Structure 1
Amino acid sequence: LPEYMLPGFMMQIDALPLTSNGKLDAKALPEPNALAGQEYMPPRTKTEKVITDIFEEILGISPVGIEDSFFELGGHSLKATAAINAIEKKTGIRLPVKDIFSSPTPVMLAKKIEAAGEGEYSPIPKAEQREAYPASSTQKRLFILDQMEGSSTAYNMASALEVTGNLDLEKIQQAIDRLIQRHESLRTSFVMTEGETFQVIADEVFYQVEYEETDSYSEADMESFVRPFDIGKAPLMRFKVAKERNRNNYILLFDVHHIISDHQTLNLLIEDFSRLYNGEELQPLELQYKDYSEWMRGRNLESQRNYWKEVFKEEAPVLDLVTDYPRPKIQSYKGAQVS
């Protein structure tokens, strides 16, 4: 078997739990303990202690020894990026993400950090207050695509959650109001002035949660919910509660434009919404997206620009697949899934 298919660890149990039909009851299996049977080796240096603390926080496992592998403990690429960011914040040394794949234990990473010498962590500063901020490169690209394609839903990011039990619609509206106030991106719209794309952040934006009662919710209902956004008007998000008649069952529908969000952001928004609905007080956000985009504008990216100019110095070949029909001048994004 290739390495990625080998179990990171194994555990022994006295007997397999069975259902009344004599089949394996997977839900009754004990939670695996990634640290079981491993010899714990405590950190010996300050750097090793910093890294083991970071691993414990990101992976939710304790204690982590200096010989324990980040990936065998449940880490993956997104968590690896979070670990590299945390290491830079604590040590001032920015390691390439590939280092955590080639050196996945605290003792190996500590050697790379110590070999790099001393570093100084410079946090992203808060941007000064303005009426509008130049859009980031990613936002500019999506703005141009929106202008070219008009009323398209190609960059809508929709998500649906099924909820069983009682829902308080007033609390849902309050949670959405607080979510919009918490995240500047949900109060951001986009304009073009003298050929330059700007992001405009409103002080306040109100959104009325949509509500519908239905016999049963179908894929067609979801398709009617996902509609084009006018990116010149905030919020570039919509939210709907659909209640199934005669059942204590709800479908919560989110739809966000990609110009203010990605899939990781969508997960954070849903998590924040859930906590706000449950009455939790969330810590204020230290930074917003405009702080990042302003910081990026001040960085010298000339070496990266030169790299890509070299990569694309010759014209890129056209992907010339055989098609049943002529290519349309404007993409329709119509397609199908076949299982």
Structure 2
Amino acid sequence: MDRTTAERIAKRFISLPLEQRRQILDKMIETGQSFRLLPIVSIRHEIGRLPLSYAQQRLLFLWQLEPDNSFYNVPMAVRLHGRLDEQALHRALTLLVQRHESLRTRFVSADGEFHQEILEDSSVALEIVSVAGQDETSLKARIRDEFAQPFDLLNGPMLRVKLLRLSDTDQVLTLCLHHIVSDGWSGELMVKEFVQLYEGLLEERTVELPELPIQYADYAIWQRAWLEAGEGERQLAYWKAQLGEEQPVLELPLIVSGRPAPVIVARSSRSRSPKGWPWSCEYWPARGPHAVHAGSGGSSRGAVTLQRSVGHPYRCAQRRS
């Protein structure tokens, strides 16, 4: 099947009523065909309300429970040496937000459901603060405080940028995003493209970045159309069969330093806290006959086109021991 035909089929599938999508997906499964082979297509402009991806829905739910929590902030800080062209810096950031729609997205509730709203305005509020004379300890504390500020997912913005100026030739650029519109992959991509755009502006040349055939909202639409048509039920049945019906709660002693103990799922053997956790903890062996289930997450960027987009394509897998 050529790509043009595959894209036409994918668009047609997404546009169909739910019952018809279920029938088509059932036939594909019966004949050994995989929906994953169909490409993620650009269809967001043909949809009235842009749905949330399942990862976004989960994070928005958690944010509603604790709107002042900064746990899902994605921080980045870059030390810049040499004279900085602030106008070019601001323009490069604006072009980056213009390129990636997820960076100018907010979340709106209507008729009891949340959906994405992509804003037309791609301007970035760049705050420049003089921190001349501050020592490194004070500077790091200030950056930590900046990254600890919560986001308002209903009103935005989802990106905060601040330039801390120590001198004319020494600055720190901080960028903080909410995980609902970004991930680790997105951070690396943003830094790479920002550098290209900034250098191009300084040299007064046009930067030709790779074309973005889709945006993250297209992925959310594709994911919903697929899972709601029966794939979600199939996967749920698979995991129920793998994990079993009994899901006991384990009483594990937990040593935590630096903050209150979080609610977690632990492994059955002693281990250190996962990389990136903001606290230090240790798990001790579980006692009893029960199996232990552990969840692990990661980026879901199998499609090449999705690898160029800023967003939060996420999957979670369960393990049983």
TM-score range relative to shorter protein: 0.5 to 0.7
Q: Which amino acid in the other structure matches residue 153 of structure 1?
A: S
Aligned residue runs from structure 1 range 288-307, under 5 A: 288-299=215-226, 300-307=231-238
1:334 is displaced (CA, Å) by 7.4
Aligned residue runs from structure 1 range 107-118, under 5 A: none
1:328 is displaced (CA, Å) by 7.3
Q: Is the 8 A contact 1:189 1:233 kept in 2?
A: yes
TM-score, normalised relative to structure 1: 0.58
Q: Which amino acid in the other structure matches residue 261 of structure 1?
A: S
Could you tell me which residue of structure 1 aligns to residue 24 of structure 2?
A: none
Could you tell me which residue of structure 2 aligns to residue 220 of structure 1?
A: 141
Q: Secondary structure at the match of 1:139?
A: helix
Could you tell me which residue of structure 1 aligns to residue 29 of structure 2?
A: none
Tell me which of 86, 91, 109 is aligned to 1:174: 91
Q: Secondary structure at the match of 2:103?
A: helix
2:100 pairs with 1:183: yes
Note the residue ranges of structure 2 that are not aligned, 5 or more in a row.
7-31, 201-206, 265-276, 282-321
Aligned residue runs from structure 1 range 260-279, under 5 A: 260-279=181-200
Q: Which amino acid in the other structure matches residue 174 of structure 1?
A: R
Note the residue ranges of structure 1 that are not aligned, 5 or more in a row.
1-88, 93-115
Q: Which amino acid in the other structure matches residue 187 of structure 2?
A: L
In 2 relative to 1, CA 181–131 (structure 1 residues): closer, same or farther, beyond 3 Å? farther
TM-score, normalised relative to structure 2: 0.61
1:292 is displaced (CA, Å) by 0.9
Q: Which amino acid in the other structure matches residue 201 of structure 1?
A: I
In 2 relative to 1, CA 138–316 (structure 1 residues): closer, same or farther, beyond 3 Å? farther
Q: 1:277-318 deviations in whole A, cap 9, x for unaligned?
A: 112232331110111111111223332121223326222433
Could you tell me which residue of structure 2 aligns to residue 193 of structure 1?
A: 110
Q: Is the 8 A contact 1:149 1:330 kept in 2?
A: no
Q: Distance in 1 between the 2:244 and 2:116 partners? A: 29
In 2 relative to 1, CA 286–174 (structure 1 residues): closer, same or farther, beyond 3 Å? same
Could you tell me which residue of structure 2 aligns to residue 211 of structure 1?
A: 128
In 2 relative to 1, CA 316–170 (structure 1 residues): closer, same or farther, beyond 3 Å? farther
1:212 is displaced (CA, Å) by 1.3
Q: Secondary structure at the match of 1:126?
A: coil
Tell me which of 246, 252, 263 is aligned to 1:320: 252
Could you tell me which residue of structure 1 aligns to residue 38 of structure 2?
A: 122
Q: Distance in 2 between the 1:284 and 1:209 partners? A: 26
Could you tell me which residue of structure 2 aligns to residue 233 of structure 1?
A: 155
Q: Is the 8 A contact 2:44 2:50 kept in 1?
A: no
Tell me which of 253, 258, 281 is aligned to 2:174: 253
Q: Which amino acid in the other structure matches residue 309 of structure 1?
A: K
Q: How well do the aligned residues superpose, as a CA RMSD in angstroms?
A: 3.2
In 2 relative to 1, CA 330–276 (structure 1 residues): closer, same or farther, beyond 3 Å? same
Bigger fraction of residues in strand: 2
Q: Is the 8 A contact 2:256 2:280 kept in 1?
A: no
Q: Distance in 1 between the 2:235 and 2:144 partners? A: 40
Q: Secondary structure at the match of 1:133?
A: coil
Aligned residues: 222
In 2 relative to 1, CA 237–120 (structure 1 residues): closer, same or farther, beyond 3 Å? closer
Q: Is the 8 A contact 1:212 1:242 kept in 2?
A: yes
Q: 1:29-87 deviations in whole A, cap 9, x for unaligned?
A: xxxxxxxxxxxxxxxxxxxxxxxxxxxxxxxxxxxxxxxxxxxxxxxxxxxxxxxxxxx
Could you tell me which residue of structure 2 aligns to residue 202 of structure 1?
A: 119
Q: Is the 8 A contact 1:156 1:258 kept in 2?
A: yes
Q: Distance in 2 between the 1:181 and 1:317 partners? A: 46
- Higher RCO structure, 1 or 2 (CA under 8 Å, sep 6+): 2
Q: Is the 8 A contact 2:101 2:216 kept in 1?
A: yes
Could you tell me which residue of structure 2 aligns to residue 243 of structure 1?
A: 165
Q: Is the 8 A contact 1:131 1:200 kept in 2?
A: no
Q: 1:187-228 deviations in whole A, cap 9, x for unaligned?
A: 111123333221111122422211112124522111221211
Could you tell me which residue of structure 2 aligns to residue 101 of structure 1?
A: none
Could you tell me which residue of structure 2 aligns to residue 23 of structure 1?
A: none
